[in-house]
Chain A
Amino acid sequence: MASSLVSPYPTSSFIRNKKDLGFSAFPCTSQIAIQKCKKQVSKKIVSVMAPQQSERKPATTGSVKTGMTMTEKILARASEKPQLSPGDNVWVNVDILMTHDVCGPGSIGIFKKEFGENAKVWDREKVVIIPDHYIFTTDERANRNVDILRDFCMEQNIKYFYDIKDLGNFKANPDYKGVCHVALAQEGHCRPGEVLLGTDSHTCTAGAFGQFATGIGNTDAGFVLGAGKLLLKVPPTLRFVMDGEMPPYLLAKDLILQIIGEISVAGATYKSMEFVGTTVESLNMEERMTLCNMVVEAGGKNGVVPADSTTFKYLEDKTSLPYEPVYSDAHASFLSEYRFDISKLEPLVAKPHSPDNRALARECKDVKIDRVYIGSCTGGKTEDFLAAAKVFLASGKKVKVPTFLVPATQKVWLDLYTLPVPGSGGKTCSQIFEEAGCDTPASPSCGACLGGPKDTYARMNEPKVCVSTTNRNFPGRMGHKEGQIYLASPYTAAASAVTGYVTDPREFLQ
């Protein structure tokens, strides 16, 4: 990876102002010698944190507050404490609890068992129930699980339940949305400064809105349903500073694959990942969601992007509830900081069978593929499809392999058929996809990202090689244990579909 410039350098609570240390803008590492700098920075990730302090005792003249990171501040406010440090265990008030058809029934079962058959949820407006995983299937248990959600929502008078009854025609269901993380954003449930918990690992996606969002299991969710709060440990924060103009062939997916490849699938375990810098500021909301979505693939507890005008604009027509963004203090302590010059990065893939098995797309050009999958919370949003369409348009050719398109939500599906693709002379995504020979966009859901029941559309039932815009590629992820999944951006996925090999999108985009 000669072209990337990555440098983890230690920050400690004693380093208040990086300028004082005379760090140049792009410190180099031993591995990458692009410029020799006088100051050699250790590549080893050094967690230089102030020694774990117990509760700070207020000085006699009054309590002294140390700077807090965004995550620490959100949790402090939610736990009604003036000051928090990483490692503190606190009871946090939950603003939104989300669940879906896979984990909802189990969570509901626990809630009823523990709080009583007639117990009521703590707040009927703060529980958002979104069937999305195993929807368009004849699997009886899967269908039953949606019924269980419905029964519960009716009994509890849950305000936000995005129901589906007619499985044969998703459009006949006015309430149905689709993929929970995209629906949460589109329906205005993500707000800066809040705490959002969900029974799904990719709940961290909502951190794109400058809130604390993380995944929990059924038992924790059952607890929240009754209590409206949860015991959480405050995570330390890793900071990722991305500067530079985003090249026209890169997407947020490439950025997060870069990071995961750098720190590994456990590099952010129990930690918060904060994304800042001019590049991040230039990303639209859906791209920021992609960035935060795969935080869990690095083991991260949550991801955050500071809220700004892009966030506020997105939220304008989606929520009327008041919110108050928080921002990391200038003197906050970060466990480590990583800097990237984005202009030097190249399109990436994560090769089988791990999201951290990073490789340059162009170095995998001899990998023959059998199919391409564009969908999921990671890569099935409107922006993702617009990106794919851009590549198909630029290539002008037909795909060489079956190319599955699964819009995340009803709204995304609609966008495919209505939004004009820039530079196409007014064509919609769906027209471009049809001309390229892709499959017709399918019913919105999580689809085959995680395999699912055997009759799931685009499920990998035989050992195939697939380039996918999804988030995980462990053995068996999309169905078959010997399936080979290459995780990639929508640009790379579309380019690969056109050639029939893993392909760097610069083949078509420069």
Chain B
Amino acid sequence: MAASLSHASYSATFTSSASKTTVSLPSRFSPSFNVSTFSPFTVKPLNSTFNPHAQRAITTIMHATSAPSSIPSDTSTKTFHGLCYVVGDNIDTDQIIPAEYLTLVPSNPAEYEKLGSYALIGLPSSYATRFIEPNESKTKYTIVIGGANFGCGSSREHAPVALGAAGAKAVVAESYARIFFRNSVATGEVYPLESEVRICEECRTGDVVTIELGESRLINHTTGKEYKLKPIGDAGPVIEAGGIFAYARKTGMIPS
């Protein structure tokens, strides 16, 4: 999950506890859940297959998330930094994760990783630069930049999961199909950010970009241009927490 790791690739020493503390607040949520005791941590496996190319190309701007505390992490200091991968309009779920890979079950950790290795493999061959190199299982691109109606097609949650498992942190698109957007938030796998203009026409794959979540801003260091993004709003804390369940527990909606 994208939640507490600003840079999965640099986070060998980074613990994931920042936003995962148990909060004992009175339950504000009245319907009865059949909730047994369970671990409140839903930890995304750390990215251990670190891509050396990414390291050399990126000058790090690391913003440490706040120390473990009982307050939700503040998204205003959150940034993503890395290379971007640019795609066009109407990138449907079959292109993000072709149907033949849907036998992989995302809640199974080994299969989760495998899903990541197939992210965006369905893009036509007109995309000469692939999202993941043929012999790799993780992507070197932190951010995916898309056009209109990103994620259209199927309701398969495997789509945002594959992107997140591959190592992407955020998608910046002109607009989203609703189920993909909803799944991204529910799983906390990637931030589905919206641009105000067609950034996909002004950025190229391999450009170095920074996203400042709190400022709702994207900076393309390669072209020197800056873009306003639509604020992530209420979806932000949910993704930050690691998805709807983690968020519901953190805010006391589900007793921990």
Contact = CB atoms under 8 A, between A and B. Distances in A.
Interface in A79-117: 91, 102-103, 105-106, 108-110, 113-117
Contact of A265 (B37, B90, B187, B243): B90
A220 B90 contact: no
Interface in B154-181: 154-158, 175-179
B244 A477 contact: no
Name the residue among B37, B95, B105 with the largest chain A CB count within 10 angstroms: B105
B42 interface: yes
A229 B33 CA distance: 10
A269 B149 contact: yes
Contacts of B99: 450-452, 477
B152 A299 contact: yes
Contact of A199 (B90, B155, B186): B155
Nearest to A271: B178
Contacts, number: 165
A476 B178 contact: no
A217 B100 contact: no
B107 A218 contact: yes
A103 B99 CA distance: 12
Contacts of A91: 31
Given A106-B105, A219-B244, A220-B186, A266 B122 contact: no
Contacts of A110: 107, 245
A134 B186 CA distance: 26
A115 B36 contact: yes
B148 A474 contact: no
B107 A113 contact: yes
Contact of A216 (B38, B108, B155, B177): B155
B47 to A, nearest CB: 21
Contacts of A106: 105-107, 157-158
Contact of A103 (B92, B98, B100, B157): B157
Interface residues of A, number: 62
Interface string B129-158: 000000000000000000011001111111
A51 to B, nearest CB: 19
B228 interface: no
A475 B179 contact: no
Interface string A422-455: 0000000000000000000000000000111110
B175 A227 contact: no
Contacts of B178: 269-270, 299, 301
A419 to B, nearest CB: 31
Contacts of A269: 149, 175-178
A266 B183 contact: no
Contacts of A103: 155-157
Interface stretch (A19-27, A139-147, A158-166, A380-388): A139-147
A409 interface: no
Name the residue among A91, A117, A227, A229 with the largest chain B CB count within 10 angstroms: A227
B181 to A, nearest CB: 9
A120 interface: yes
Interface in A472-496: 472, 474-477, 479, 481-482
Contact of B100 (A227, A453, A482): A453
A219 B34 contact: no
B155 A476 contact: no
Interface in A290-312: 296, 299, 301
Contacts of A134: 102-103
Nearest to B35: A115
B100 A472 contact: no
B25 interface: no
B107 A105 contact: yes
A59 B186 CA distance: 38
A199 B159 CA distance: 13
A373 B92 CA distance: 22
B106 A218 contact: yes
B177 A226 contact: no
Interface string A212-247: 000111111011001111000000000000000000
Given A218-B157, A227-B33, 5 more contacts: A103-B157, A110-B245, A219-B157, A476-B122, A481-B122
14 contacts: A105-B105, A106-B157, A116-B37, A116-B38, A199-B155, A217-B183, A219-B157, A219-B183, A220-B183, A223-B245, A269-B178, A296-B179, A475-B124, A477-B94
Interface of A: 91, 102-103, 105-106, 108-110, 113-120, 122, 133-134, 139, 141-142, 144-145, 148, 199-201, 203, 215-220, 222-223, 226-229, 265-266, 269-270, 296, 299, 301, 354, 450-454, 472, 474-477, 479, 481-482
